[in-house]
Amino acid sequence: MDWHGHSFAFKLRIDVEHVESQRYTGDYRLTKVSVVNLLDLLAELDVKLSFCVLGITAEMFPNLIADIVDAGHEVYGHGMYHEPAFSGRPLNEQRHEMRRMRDSIESACGVKIQGIGCPHHGMADEHTLQAAAEMGITFVESRIRDKDAIVPQWHSVEGTDLKVLVPGGQNRGASDYTDRRPYWAELHEEAFSPTYARQKWMANLDWAKENSLMTGLVVHPWMLMINPGEVQVVKDVIRYAKDEGAWFATVKGLIDLAE
């Protein structure tokens, strides 16, 4: 498997979502402070990542989203409001949210997004795929995957002529976490452990390298502000991925691989 000239891939996704910061820490501004700091850190590490941005955050902080793009990173969508999840809602409602998200991000930074990372651990259904396709969004990152595939595969949307790319199911991922959001998406989260996170995230990189696959990691800027030790772990993991020769996956790069 050739990951744009690398033997394995690391998709490090940064979720930019001030409403989640508000909900779990009581302060929406942490997201902005954290992203500003993170942009410096990523410049120092000389790495470009993919930022998954809520439409409402792009509306509230357009300059922040423009700064992410100016720093050379990719942005794609994370829904408009984060709440409620896409799955189970009528098509017209999902379509409306998808359009608002796409337009808010474009007005903030001039980028027409090519993908969406569905919120709530990727809860999505066929209507989500259809709404995305209708809005010109090619890549839908959700629980709907192509089980045996490594790179994204075209998925025909039920009852339409539309197609979107869905992720390959052979890869594995992880997310940061915090005990500030108990029972979130039906999971009880423990307090963040830098030791355990470092071990697990690096082991995922080792696994990806051994198998020539991709591993993902979702990082929440607001968690970087409240989880003791997480900034250092993220830094170490990025350095490790670079040293081991990972391709830092982007939505655009994944679409190229699929085509």
Q: Is 216 in the site for Zn ion (CB under 5 A)?
A: no
Name which of 4 and 188 has its Cβ closer to Zn ion.
Answer: 188
Name which of 53 and 157 has its Cβ closer to Zn ion.
Answer: 53
Name which of 213 and 223 has its Cβ closer to Zn ion.
Answer: 223
Interface residue with Zn ion among 11, 13, 15, 132 (CB under 5 A) is 15
Name which of 38 and 150 has its Cβ closer to Zn ion.
Answer: 38
Check residue 120 and give left, alpha or beta (phi > 0: left; psi -120 to 50: alpha).
Answer: left
For the bound state, the minimum distance from the C-beta of residue 61 to Zn ion, rounded and expressed in Å, comes to 16
Name which of 53 and 151 has its Cβ closer to Zn ion.
Answer: 53
CA 170, CA 173: separation in Å to the nearest integer? 10
Q: Is 119 in the site for Zn ion (CB under 5 A)?
A: yes
Stretch that binds Zn ion, among 16-24, 94-102, 185-193, 198-206 (CB under 5 A): 16-24
Give, in order, the Cα–Cα distances in Å from 210 to each of 25, 193, 203, 248.
38, 26, 10, 16
Residues 38-57 interacting with Zn ion (rule: CB under 5 A): none
Q: Is 141 in the site for Zn ion (CB under 5 A)?
A: no
For the bound state, the minimum distance from the C-beta of residue 16 to Zn ion, rounded and expressed in Å, comes to 9
Stretch that binds Zn ion, among 9-17, 61-69, 91-99, 229-237 (CB under 5 A): 9-17
Place of tokens 């090519």: 114
For Zn ion, the binding residues (CB under 5 A) are 15, 17, 119
